């Protein structure tokens, strides 16, 4: 993450995650929702235009997560709608809608 405040705002206020643990750790953020927990570390020099980094979320209820993203008007990648892949798992891709993260 490039900016902890912006990242926290997106995941907490847009996606419905909650802050986990202490918010006092400089350059580190943990959020959780249901059985999902995401850890972020600060990387201010990250250039999202040339970095293909991503967050992989594994959940037992991807359909509910997908509906939650749609309900919160989160941008779903054009090639990332919820679909069953050849290896038998359902996947989706969403965008943070900004190059700040």
What does the block give as tokens for 77?
């990648």
Whether 29 maps to a domain, the answer reads yes
Whether 79 maps to a domain, the answer reads yes
pLDDT at position 99 over 70: no
- For the segment 51-75, the average pLDDT, to the nearest whole number, is 79
How confident is the model over 18-52, as pLDDT tens digits?
999 877 788 899 999 888 888 988 888 877 777 66
Residue 43 sits in which domain range?
4-91
Which residues are bridge partners to 32 per DSSP?
18, 37
Beta strands, E only, 1-101: 18-19, 28-33, 36-41, 83-84, 90-91
Whether 98 maps to a domain, the answer reads no
> Dihedrals φ, ψ of 68, to 5°?
-65, -40
Pick 59 or 37 by higher pLDDT. Answer: 37
pTM: 0.70
Number of domains in the chain: 1
Q: What is the CATH number of the domain that holds 42?
A: 3.10.180.10
Whether 81 maps to a domain, the answer reads yes
Whether 86 maps to a domain, the answer reads yes
Whether 101 maps to a domain, the answer reads no
């Amino acid at each position: 993450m490039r900016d902890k405040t912006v990242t926290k705002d997106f995941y907490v206020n847009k996606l419905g995650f909650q802050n986990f643990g202490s918010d006092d750790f400089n350059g580190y953020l943990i959020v959780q929702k249901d059985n999902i927990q995401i850890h972020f570390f600060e990387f201010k020099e990250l250039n999202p235009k040339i970095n293909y980094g991503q967050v992989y979320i594994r959940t037992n209820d991807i359909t509910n997560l997908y509906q939650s993203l749609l309900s919160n008007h989160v941008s779903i990648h054009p090639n990332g709608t919820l679909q069953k892949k050849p290896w038998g798992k359902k996947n989706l891709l969403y965008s943070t809608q900004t190059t700040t993260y």
